Amino acid sequence: MDYQAGASGVDIVPETREEEEDVSSSRSRGWRDVLRERWRRLLSIAVAVILLPYVLIILYTPIFIHPISTLMLRDLVFLRGYDRQWVAFGEISPNLVRSVMMSEDGQFCLHDGVDWVQMRGVVTDALEGESTRGASTIPMQTAKNLFLWNGRSFVRKGMELPLALVADFVWSKRRMMELYLNVAEWGPGIYGAEAAARHHFGVSAAKLTRRQAALLAVALPNPLERNAGKPGRGLRRLASVIERRAGRSGEYIKCLYE
């Protein structure tokens, strides 16, 4: 009687080294394929995130679109809520437009989104190890408010510059200023000129006086600590400087009121 086949009559042949290597190689290729697919997905998501603001710039061109800022979105996510009432550019006091422009970006009508003269000065100061001054234009601040985050970093600034250039190319100067004045932060949960005017002075954005407008303008760099409605001595002094500049701003704001 032949016992080589075992009880079941089936030959039991151990796997060869070549077969074991084939299985291991197949598993390795499987993991590589999975990792490659995951990296492709992550890369696709990263590219989409980077390109999304440029698509939104085009979508935000019509005047009936009223976008919100990333800070407003943050307040919604954390269930804090916010106050913002959109107003058209023509319903905002020219006093505020002049004050904000002369305080934040005096060359607004002349540059292409970035004030390269100021930017070169900042880069030079940084390379020499000196403290840098602000060189953000209104287009740069608008891009930051709509698409990026607060805080000083080279990464954010690197993303901010091309966004400002594209936005300035796509939007008119009036649309740019309208967007900026409707998303700027003027206090905790206070966004836009209308909400700021009513919160700090009890008037509409259209009724702001030269003094009130100057106080709002100088509060913009640090709205959480600078209270336009209850200004200290330093804030009042800055407001006086901006009020005088705004009174002489005729040649600087032609792109907005021609």
Question: Model-level pTM?
Answer: 0.84
> Residue 193: what pLDDT?
98
From first CA to last CA, the distance across the chain in angstroms is 111
Question: What pLDDT does residue 44 have?
Answer: 86
Q: How far apart are CA 177 and CA 119, in angstroms?
A: 21
Instruction: Give the pLDDT confidence score for residue 205 in this predicted structure.
Output: 98
Q: What is the pLDDT of residue 1?
A: 47
What is the CB neighbour count within 10 angstroms for residue 213?
Answer: 29
- Res 13: pLDDT: 47
Identify the segments of the chain with pLDDT beneath 70: 1-28, 122-134
Burial class (CB in 10 A: 0-12, 13-18, 19+), 110: exposed
The pLDDT assigned to 28 comes to 67
Please choose, from the candidates 91, 74, 87, the residue with its C-alpha nearest in 3D space to the C-alpha of residue 188.
74
Q: What is the pLDDT of residue 93?
A: 98
Look at residue 89 in the predicted model and tell me its pLDDT.
Answer: 97
pLDDT score, position 23? 56
Predicted local distance difference test score (pLDDT) of residue 22: 60
Q: State residue 24's pLDDT score.
A: 61
pLDDT number for residue 129: 59
10 Å CB burial of residue 162 (0-12, 13-18, 19+) is: middle
